[in-house]
Amino acid sequence: MSSHRIALEDRYCAHNYQPLPVVLSKGLGIWLWDEDGKRYMDMMSAYSAVSFGHSHPALVEALTHQAGQLAVTSRAFYTDQLGSFLQLLCEMTGMPKALPMNSGTEAVETALKAARKWGYKVKGIPDQQAEIIVCHGNFAGRTTTIVGFSSEAQYRDGFGPFDGGFVTIPFGDAAALEAAITPRTAAFLVEPIQGEGGIIVPPDGYLAQCREICTRHDVLLICDEVQTGLGRTGRLLACDHEGIKPDGLILGKALGGGLLPVSAFLARRDVMDVFTPGDHGSTFGGNPLAAAVGHAALSLLRDGALIAAAQRLGQRLRDGLSAIQHPAICSVRGKGLLIGLELDPNIISARNFCERLMEEGVLSKETHHTVVRFAPPLIISAAEIDAALRIIEHVFATLPTPHTEDCT
């Protein structure tokens, strides 16, 4: 049956993904089951979208209750769910106003529009000349505007011509940010940790330096926390590690509780107030069903227990990975439960390593051919972390151990 399902998808679906050869049919907590009943530990949690685990009872209850009341209306009307959801979201993040969307990509597009219009209407940049600074290795989505400022050749190949107005600098280099700023600069868009880029953590103090530079030059600091936000790195927001407050904040993935696409752009008032009726919108953004689920997801984080667990168990996972001795391992990096294991492709590709993990009952995904990502649901236990480590160590034990000089 599994081969039939794979054949159907391959036949009728565009080949824009290359899934591992497993057909999943059920999920509960940190666990997934395939059609044959084999159980797998989910060490990816859909790029942080399933941060609360599969089918979390509080989230499923919120979803089913609201679906039976009112699911979708146009934003042409008020509803009894959106205001309380946005109030909680703003109170928890310390941001004054929010604009709800669906996917993380849509929230990024919203941020770009807000930054440009703020640049023209508030900062006084000449019309059509606004620039937004981004980082090499960024990943913010797949729309043509966003891939236009990607440094990954494949993401751009065949999809131009692209929108202009973006300046790319090295990630983690605050001096490069300052050097790139001109009177036309409206904003700096940055991921506190680059996820798709390979779980790249910048030097300590980087975001704080960026905050100071942006403030001094009247440039908006916009943090893309679609993947790193809402407890993933051991703080509510990854930028909380350095105690900085951005001018704009982008959230998604975990905000939908693993059940729906829910995202938001949050910003200080003068940034958000550039929007007037008709400037921007979304058919589904902020619908009652999404608002109810988003409110329930945020409520799970309010007491801080899951966030503290992400910090503690992430350290346990990083320490365990670092203790494995094998020449295929180049580095272990990350924060909280967002960890990258970089491998030497001369010994094994990250894809092949993920396939071997799958055979042993652990699901993950590679990025850039050399990095295996580990980002399990925040509800994972210490015992389950240890079980995953035993499987990972076992896979390494099955690999050849040739001498290698470095990871290239």
- pLDDT of residue 405 exceeding 80: no
CA dist., res. 72 & res. 285, Å (int):
9
pLDDT in tens, 280-328: 999 999 999 999 999 999 999 999 999 999 999 999 999 999 999 999 9
Residues in Cβ contact with 131 at an 8 Å cutoff, skipping those fewer than 6 apart: 165, 166, 167, 182, 184, 185, 186
For 48-77, the pLDDT digits (tens) are 999 999 999 999 999 999 999 999 999 999
DSSP track, 83-110: HHHHHHHHHHHT-SEEEEESSHHHHHHH
pLDDT tens digits for range 118-169:
999 999 999 999 999 999 999 999 999 999 999 999 999 999 999 899 999 9
pLDDT score, position 400? 78
What are the backbone dihedrals phi and psi of residue 145, each rounded to the nearest 5 degrees, phi first?
Answer: -60, -45
Residue 403's pLDDT is 56
Q: Per the confidence metrics, is the pTM higher than 0.85? A: yes
Taking 70 as the threshold, does the pLDDT of residue 227 lie above it? Answer: yes
Q: Which one-letter amino acid corresponds to residue 236?
A: L
| Residue whose C-alpha is closest to residue 110's, from 118, 119, 101 | 101
- Which DSSP symbol is given to 261? -
For position 3, what pLDDT does the model report?
86
Pairing of strands 185-190, 131-135: parallel
Q: Is pLDDT of 99 > 60?
A: yes
In the chain, the domains with their CATH numbers are: 30-42+305-398 (3.90.1150.10), 57-301 (3.40.640.10)
Compute the mean pLDDT over every residue in the chain, rounded to the nearest whole number. Answer: 96
User: Distance between CA 341 and CA 374 in Å, rounded?
Assistant: 8
Please report the pLDDT score of residue 2 as a whole number.
77
pLDDT score recorded for residue 216? 98
173, 224, 240, 344: the active-site residue: 224
CA distance 89 to 95: 8
Annotated catalytic residue: which of 117, 253, 335, 365? 253
pLDDT at 1: 64
Confidence of residue 40 (pLDDT cuts 50, 70, 90): very high
Q: How far is residue 332's CA from residue 372's CA, in Å, rounded to a whole number?
A: 10
Catalytic residue among 139, 149, 166, 353: 139
Q: How far apart are CA 358 and CA 377, in angstroms?
A: 17
Lowest mean pLDDT: which of 116-125, 229-238, 329-338, 392-401? Answer: 392-401
Under 8 Å between Cβ of 160 and 149: no
Q: Mark whether 224 is an active-site residue.
A: yes
Q: Can you give the pLDDT at residue 404?
A: 55
The question of whether 52 is a catalytic residue gets the answer no
Q: What is the per-residue pLDDT across 189-224, written as a single tens digit (0 to 9) for each?
A: 999 999 999 999 999 999 999 999 999 999 999 999
pLDDT at position 406 is 62
pLDDT reported for residue 281: 94
| pLDDT reported for residue 110 | 98
What local confidence, expressed as pLDDT, does residue 27 receive? 98
The stretches of 119-260 forming alpha helices (DSSP H) are: 144-148, 153-156, 174-180, 206-216
